[in-house]
């Protein structure tokens, strides 16, 4: 498993979603929630919505505003219709103010 830098901690705001472009993986959604960092694919599996552009965090899940589906951003699991397929999810690591994903 390799570590790839996704962004700096200073790019993230608590409760917000940051878009990181990762070579070979495409766009990822990076979530900072209660000082923990999570990462999933950015594109909703129901349609083509970008979760970092059109999604928001509420009650421990990311809601896709296009059709109100939801995913657990900690695991990528789809948890509300019409979303059924999971998002790819990535382990994260924070070192010296930098956020890395494991691929």
* Binding positions for ligand FES, rule: CB under 6 A: 44, 46-47, 49, 64, 66-67, 69, 82-83
Phi, psi of 52 (to 5 degrees): -75, -25
Residue owning tokens 């830098």: 5
Question: Closer to ligand FES at the Cβ: 45 or 99?
Answer: 45
Work out how close the CB of 18 gets to ligand FES at its nearest, in angstroms, rounded to a whole number: 18
Nearer Cβ to ligand FES (37/64): 64
Minimum gap (Å) between residue 12 Cβ and ligand FES: 22
C-beta nearest to ligand FES: residue: 47
- In DSSP terms, 66 is beta-bridged to none
What phi and psi, each to the nearest 5 degrees, are found at residue 40? -140, 170
Determine the Cα–Cα distance for residues 69 and 27; give it in Å rounded to an integer: 19
Residue 54 DSSP SS3: helix
Beta carbon nearer to ligand FES, 54 or 98: 54
């Amino acid at each position: 498993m390799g570590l790839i830098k996704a962004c700096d901690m200073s790019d993230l705001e608590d409760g917000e979603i940051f878009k990181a472009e990762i070579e070979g993986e495409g766009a990822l959604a990076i979530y900072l929630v209660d000082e923990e960092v999570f990462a999933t694919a950015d594109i909703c599996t129901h349609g083509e919505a970008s979760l970092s552009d059109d999604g928001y965090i509420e009650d421990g899940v990311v809601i896709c505003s296009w059709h109100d589906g939801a995913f657990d951003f900690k695991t990528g699991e789809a948890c509300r219709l019409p979303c059924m397929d999971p998002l790819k999810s990535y382990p994260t690591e924070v070192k010296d103010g930098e956020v890395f994903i494991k691929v």
